[in-house]
Structures are given as structure tokens and as C-alpha cells.
Amino acid sequence: MKPTLRHLVACAAFIAAGAASIATATAAEVVIVAPNAPPAERVEIVPAARVGYVWDKGHWRWEHGRYVWIGGHWQAERVGMHWVPGHWDDHHDHWVWVEGHWA
């Protein structure tokens, strides 16, 4: 039996939906927890403003059992939104990284 165009389109849609669900599952949020407070923030020289971008300040990242400094970088601006920088939250006996995001 030869597949019809309608059958082929339905199969393609089914495959695309499956691929999308796999991509979503692999892009799950990763929670970073550190046992101690991060060091004091470093002083960064913020470059001159760029049209269409906002500056995301540098921060400490927990990596392989220690803090590593990640320098600031530009984020493409989203019209009507503002950038909320990532930050560490104190949860009494450990520290949790809250990823930067648009609000």
C-alpha cells in the first residue's frame, strides 16, 4: 500500500513533535548548589553602552568544587523587558545559583 500525502504529513508532524519533546527534555534547568558563599564580586570596567544590548555583569560560577570568575558580556536586548542578572541565594547551609533572565 502506497502512503498518501496526508499520511506522510501526519508522520512528519508526529516525528517533529517527538523531536521537540526530546529537545525540551535535554534543555531542562540545571540547579547549581555550592557549599559555601561565593567570593566578593570583582570590579569590572563596564564598556560603553551598545545600542540593542544590555550588559550582564560578571559573576562567580561553581565549577569542579571551586568558584571560577565568569566575566561580563553583552545580552541582546528584548524590547519591553529588562534583564535580571544572575545571583547567588543563601539557603542557610548552601548557596543556590539563580540564572539571569528577562522579566
- Identity of the amino acid at 49: A
End-to-end CA distance of the chain: 53
pLDDT of residue 92: 86
Low-confidence ranges of the chain (pLDDT < 50): 7-26
Instruction: Output the pTM of the full model.
Output: 0.66
Number of neighbours of residue 60 by Cβ within 10 angstroms: 21
Residue of 59, 87, 84, 62 lying closest to 72 (CA atoms): 59
C-alpha span between 44 and 54 (Å, rounded): 15
Instruction: Give me the residue spans of the domains in the chain.
Output: 32-102
C-alpha span between 83 and 41 (Å, rounded): 19
